[in-house]
Amino acid sequence: MLSKTLLDEMNNQIREELYSAYLYLAMAAHFEEANWPGFASWMTKQAAEEQEHAMKFFSYIHDRGGKVTLQAIAQPPASFGKPVEIFEQVLQHEQKVTARIHLLYSIAVKDNDYASQHFLDWFVNEQVEEEKNATQVLEWLKMAGDSVNALFQINGLLARRE
């Protein structure tokens, strides 16, 4: 059985993952509106991944006999800055998610909950990937500066995300 602390934090994590999906969907809407389909497609896929992350916690809590309690999801921002600023936000957001996953892990260690540690290993690795991806696009955007040509190229690269 999950400890109450870990169960509560996993329920909080469902909210955080769904907020991530909401945030990236808001960014996707911004890019759609701004006619950057590659950026929009990347964000839409990112939003879908975040929903999958939430569902992993949803299933795991049930697998361990716990109760899922869904919470209110905060409203994401309605307006955004330049692409470089948006990817700064993405990276900062993912760093916060990483800190949350590490918090969950530390609770599972304190609880001697080996199953939860094993479950959370996937998320620890995923966060390395998430931060790496956000950093890569951010670095490209920094290099691009105000070059519209370079932005078009990045837009094309992001459109290819699987």
Positions in 109-138 near ligand FEO (CB under 6 A): 130
Give min distance, CB of 124 to ligand FEO, in A. Answer: 11
Among 10, 17, 44, 107, binds ligand FEO (CB under 6 A): 17
**Distance of closest approach, residue 146 Cβ to ligand FEO, in angstroms:** 28
Minimum distance, C-beta of residue 144 to ligand FEO, in the bound complex (Å): 23
Integer Cα distance of 119 and 144 in angstroms: 39
Distance CA 86, CA 20 (A): 14
- Return d(Cα 107, Cα 56) in angstroms, integer: 18
User: Is 89 annotated as belonging to a binding site?
Assistant: no
Interface residue with ligand FEO among 7, 9, 14, 20 (CB under 6 A) is 20
- How many residues contact ligand FEO, by CB under 6 A? 7
- State the residue for tokens 């955007």: 141
Query: Distance between CA atoms of 11 and 3, rounded to whole angstroms?
Result: 12
Cβ atoms of 1 and 64 closer than 8 Å: yes
- For residue 79, give the 3-state DSSP assignment: coil
Residues lying near ligand FEO in the complex (CB under 6 A): 17, 20, 50, 53, 94, 97, 130
